[in-house]
Amino acid sequence: MKKEKCTGTQMPGKQMPRITIVSIPQTLFILMVLLITFFMMAPPVFAGSYKWKISQGIAEDHPASARCKQFAQILEKDSQGKMKLTYFPAGALGDWSEQIEANRMGTLEIGLNAGSTSYDPKTNLMFMPYLFSSWDEARAAIGSKGWLTPIFNELYSGIGLKVLGIYLNAWDGMAYTGRVKNLVKVPADAHGIKMRVPPIRIFEVYVPTLGFISTPVAYSETFTALQTGIVDARSACPAVEAYVMRDAIKTYVATRDAFEYWFLTMNLKLWDSLSPEDQALLTASADKVMADQAITAEQDENDFKKKLRAAGVKVHEVSDQEWEISAAAVRSKAWPIIEKELLGTELMEKIKQHATPISQ
């Protein structure tokens, strides 16, 4: 007589339902366990590949837009599709300052933006006056093998960013309204001229040592200030910005007093999580893009000088001797204040080692 298997406690006088136990083949059971384990351990993107965002926070027609796209293309190609970057147009992720903060927090993996002095006074270094005098010197300072990149990388690491590359934007110059009758190339010519400076401490320190009356004015108010006579001229003025404000100015002097850098940065925690091979891919791609930009930026500057002349603005260059006269004044009077208030002795010593020698 066949006996039924008891599948539970039999209560007196009540028939319990039978439960059929289905046997799973051993090989299928092992396969299921392996699949479950794999999906529990696998990252959201398949292992070894990355999908990141990249953006810049200025106008979409700015060359920074093209450089973001170029970086994404080179990186995807050289990594054989392992690293894919989606470009977000200017403003889509906030303005440049909001993007820097997002980059620090990691919600934006890679950004190409102007630098900010809000986090650390030492980052005023990005506006260091009379540091060097030529495009070749500027180009030699950047890139993974340049002397300036590791300095900025150390500064930015303190706010959670890795500097992949330094973007050479443009030399600063000085633009003058028609109220300034004389040509100003050296400090002796600057007496009595009200000069707009950005509301950034390093400009407030060094521009007066060139003989000007320093007047801090926000960029958004500068055009009106030039027109109404609040200021007679503006500093921190690349040729492209002089062209934008051409209706308010009569003369542009390419003083080369300071250089404007931007920075291609990556969230530091993300960078640290990558393998040395992945880091090398990012560095090589950044070097290529920033080197291309360093050549194009000089060409763009010359093009905008031509446009200024065509618009009726007189454009003047300064000679090496004139540059040295101004450099000597700033280095002797402003650099000690910049060292004490902003950069500190250790960083200032590094700067002095690489600054363009002058005979003054």
Q: Residue 60: what pLDDT? A: 87
What span, in angstroms and rounded, lies between the C-alpha atoms of 264 and 293? 12
State the pLDDT at residue 39: 42
Q: Which residues pair with 112 in a beta bridge?
A: 264
H or E stretch at 335 = helix 335-338
Kindly state whether residue 24 falls inside one of the protein's structural domains.
Answer: no
Residue 31: per-residue pLDDT? 55
pLDDT at 12: 41
What is the CATH number for 216? 3.40.190.170
Buried/exposed code over 224-237 (b: 16+ C-beta within 10 A; e: otherwise):
ebbeeeebbbbbbb
Strands 50-55 and 110-114: parallel
Residue 280 lies in a domain: yes
Query: Looking at the structure, do residues 118 and 98 belong to the same domain, yes or no?
Result: yes
DSSP 91: B
CA-based torsion, 147, 151, 156, 161: positive or negative: positive
Task: State the total domains in the chain.
Answer: 2
- Say if residues 117 and 200 touch (Cβ distance below 8 Å): yes
Q: DSSP secondary structure string, 267-304?
A: EHHHHHTS-HHHHHHHHHHHHHHHHHHHHHHHHHHHHH
292 and 163 share one domain: yes
The residue segments making up the domain with residue 108 are 51-169+260-300
Query: Is there a domain that residue 11 lies in?
Result: no
- What is the structure's pLDDT at 40? 44
69: buried, middle or exposed (CB in 10 Å: 19+, 13-18, 0-12)? middle
- For 38-53, what is each residue's pLDDT tens digit? 444 433 444 468 999 9
- Say if residue 112 is in the same domain as residue 249: no
Average pLDDT per run of 10 along the chain, which is 360 residues long?
A: 40 43 52 49 54 92 91 96 94 91 97 91 95 95 94 96 96 98 97 96 97 95 97 96 96 96 97 97 97 96 97 98 97 98 97 91
Q: What is the pLDDT of residue 202?
A: 96
Whether residues 94 and 160 fall in one domain: yes
- Assigned token pair, 110: 């890679």
